[in-house]
A and B are shown apart, each in its own frame.
Chain A
Amino acid sequence: MAAAIAGPLLGPYWADLLVKVMILSIFALSLELLVGMTGLVSLGHAAFYGIGAYATVLGSGAEGGNLIVLMLGAMGAAALYALCVGALSLRTRGVYFIMVTLAFAQMAFFVFHDTKVGGDSDGIYLDVRPTLGGLSLESRHALFYLVLAALAGTYGLLALVRRSRFGAALAGIRVNEQRMRAAGFATYGYKLAAFVMAGALAGLAGSLLAVRDGVVNPELLSWHTSGDVLLMVILGGMGHLRGAVIGAVVFTLLKELLSTHALMGPLADHWQLTLGLTIIVFVAVLPQGLMGLAQRLGQPIGKGGKA
């Protein structure tokens, strides 16, 4: 928390990176709602992130536009697409669900990549950043605290959801959907609601990213992006909101550290190798993700590797 609040004091680059990490945390949290809380693994979550980003840039005119309006618009656009995708893809389950979500994300990707809707494959950019009341987001500090607030809001919202009746129903669906249905829950409706909510939150993350970068391109919707955010959630440890945030932080920083020449020397050129090996070791010794490690640290340290 200390790091988050003192962020702007860290100097432009680290403050900027922290903003990125916070945006990714929101994105990872939105996926955690699906993966960890509902048991729905999606490999197409980047579609909503990208749509949120594109909606923000396309919606802002030459003067930049009002941020609140743009963010709500982005969340709405992402939620709408999530509604369509969810309604169809929730008919399938397991690996098939993973692949249908991927399919719909790829379709969205090709719309932005191959047509002129979003300026084609090189992407489009914001001329002027949107404003929030009288506050210009060209200011680093304003953007920092805005993203921090959005992260806190998302985290708080999901924490509430977890404790609510709705959250309990989602947890029930994750554990045993048959039984939930037998108990009289319309599970499809619950799952769809979770899917749309996750889509909207991913749209929020995308919108913030567009404001931060000023550039959006189709790669934001690619399956690599979907894969990365899924890795963050798994790495952090599913089933914990903190896990998603920790996953986003660790994944980003790890790559950052491994590819920094000042730290790694010539090995930084081969960051793929070191990152790959690190991930493999993580999987070997941390079956429950980083959250599992955190929990184990509380107790006497057992032998790693035994799942």
Chain B
Amino acid sequence: MTSRYARTAFAALALACGATAGTAQTTDKLKVGLMLPFSGTFSALGVAIENGFRLHVAEQGGKLAGREIEFFKVDDESDPAKATDNVNKLIKRDGVDVIVGTVHSGVATAMARAAKQSGTLLIVPNAGADAVTGALCAQNIFRSSFSNWQSSYGMGTVAAKQEKKKTAVTITWKYAAGDEMTEAFKEGFEKEGGKVVKQLTVPFPNVEFQALLTEIAATKPDVVFAFFAGGGAVKFVKDYAAAGLNKVTPLYGSGFLTDGTLEAQGDAAQGLLTTLHYADGLNTPRDNAFRTAYAKSFKLQPDVYAVQGYDAAQILATGLKAVKGDIAKKADFAAAVQKATIDSPRGPFTMSRAHNPVQDIYLRKVDGKENKVVGVAAKALADPARGCKL
């Protein structure tokens, strides 16, 4: 009996090996692995990132630095427990030259660890975990998006300096990204003389906020800073307004509170102030061209995730051009990217020594279904890259 199972299992394995070996035959194409959420809560983000990336490749005539691109896709399911296996599908099975991914911070941390070990080039198009360009930073790891610290520090300074708020309460999910964002807000806010009087948390991904809204009402701070995303962001903003708190205490947020969620939030979100590295109504020729092209290609309006995907491709193109398509020259690749200015739809940015964008953080105000830019919260803000030894 036993040997029969073994034979069946072996046959299945051999079959699968053969199938992948077949695709591995193609040469000269640059293999790009997209490890993104294609199912579950973040799937819309995964699609936007992929679209953005493909748009830039298409604009270059389907080639980067003269090399055609072959895509390999893996659904990361936003599950950190499966992250190592999923990233190994790309590194070890498909033998990709570059990995692009992902959205979820926990998954990205595991990816960064795997990339650090294998030396495969990794470009992170969203996950803001500070560690990716902090403690885990490496020559072959880049980020085209933001660090959690970056996205919220500016809101803190604006709240204290420009809006003259004295006391604040922060609220977020109890997990790493939430902690990093609210701590960054606190750092910025208290540096400018404000005081964070309470830091509230909800277990992730619980969306029952009523108890903490009552706490906020009882504490009566000058301002509330919130970080939630997706369904949680929609519910929080609606609950906040329904409780009447938006009339007495303004709600500020990390940009993710109102990105991709405005249609669902409706009136409740009007007038909210948030900070992020992208905004609607930038009205620069670069951004307008990008938005038109994106809308034409995908029949969708682009969002910040699409921009991050697009810029991941730009970073890859920049480095690749410098090494004339020879991806093995990691040091030259990194040096070229670090010297370059990336002409992003968000506005040009450079890369820090830890390979995180040094970028303007916009102050945005919700107006209708748009996050309209109203100013710059922090000019050319660089992540402190704590723990990075590059």
Contact = CB atoms under 8 A, between A and B. Distances in A.
The answer to A–B direct touch (Cβ < 8 A) is yes
Interface of A: 1-4, 10-14, 16-18, 20, 110, 113-114, 120-123, 125, 212-215, 217-220, 222, 224-225, 242, 246, 249, 253, 256-257, 259-263, 268-269, 271-272, 294
Most chain A CB atoms below 10 A, which of B3, B93, B117: B93
A2 B81 contact: no
Contact of B84 (A4, A114, A213, A256): A213
Contact of B106 (A122, A214, A271): A122
Chain B binding surface, main DSSP class? helix
A269 B74 CA distance: 9
B80 A3 contact: no
B20 A217 contact: no
Contacts of B177: 121
Contacts of A272: 39
Contacts of A3: 6, 9-10, 13
21 contacts: A1-B6, A2-B7, A3-B6, A13-B20, A13-B93, A14-B13, A14-B16, A14-B93, A120-B175, A121-B176, A122-B80, A122-B129, A214-B113, A217-B109, A218-B80, A220-B81, A224-B81, A225-B81, A260-B16, A261-B72, A294-B1
Contacts of B83: 215, 217
Contacts of B13: 3, 10, 14, 18, 253
Contacts of A259: 74-75
A256 B16 contact: yes
Contacts of A16: 85, 88, 92
Contact of B204 (A14, A121, A261): A121
A122 B131 contact: yes
B285 interface: no
A13 B5 contact: no
Given A125-B113, A272-B39, A20 B9 contact: no
Given A122-B105, A294-B1, A217 B75 contact: no
A213 B1 contact: no
Contacts, number: 129
B23 interface: yes
B203 interface: yes
A21 B5 CA distance: 15
A263 B84 CA distance: 22
A10 B3 contact: no
Nearest to B93: A13
A289 to B, nearest CB: 13
Given A13-B93, A220-B81, A242-B5, A261 B113 contact: no
Nearest to B43: A269
A275 to B, nearest CB: 11
Contact of A260 (B3, B6, B20): B20
Interface in B115-160: 117, 129, 131
B172 to A, nearest CB: 12
Given A16-B92, A123-B109, A217-B81, A1 B16 contact: no
Nearest to A18: B13
